Amino acid sequence: MTAYTATVTVRLKRGVLDPEAETTARALERLGFELEDLRSADRFEVDLEAESAEAARERAEEMAERLLANPTIHDYDVEVAER
């Protein structure tokens, strides 16, 4: 078994309203910052042990499908690194 960290990034699908990001963008503009767009996402760093990087990725993808992301409104991606 090898120790891995799987990083799952969960973002809203294009077209889904993101009022939190909108509010953050307006607040930055009020502070004087120039920006064109801002998107927010959740990131989960999961430490786990697995037989291989591929097995760690599969387990993290299943975590995303079953709990971390809502497939109706979210896309997600998974990166795996040895730790």
Q: From CA 80, how far away is CA 76, in angstroms rounded?
A: 13
Give min distance, CB of 3 to its own copies, in A.
8
Contact, 46 vs 5, CB < 8 A? yes
Q: Could you say which of 13, 22, 45, 81 contacts its own copies (CB under 8 A)? A: 45
Q: In the stretch 4-43, what mask flags binding to its own copies with x, by CB under 8 A?
A: -----x-----------x--x--xx--x-xxxxxxxxxxx
Give the up-direction half-sphere exposure of residue 81: CA atoms within 13 A in the CB hemisphere.
5
In this structure, how many other beta carbons lie within 10 angstroms of the beta carbon of residue 65?
11
Q: Kindly list the residues in this chain that would bind its own copies in the complex (CB under 8 A).
A: 3, 9, 21, 24, 27-28, 31, 33-49, 59, 62-63, 66-68
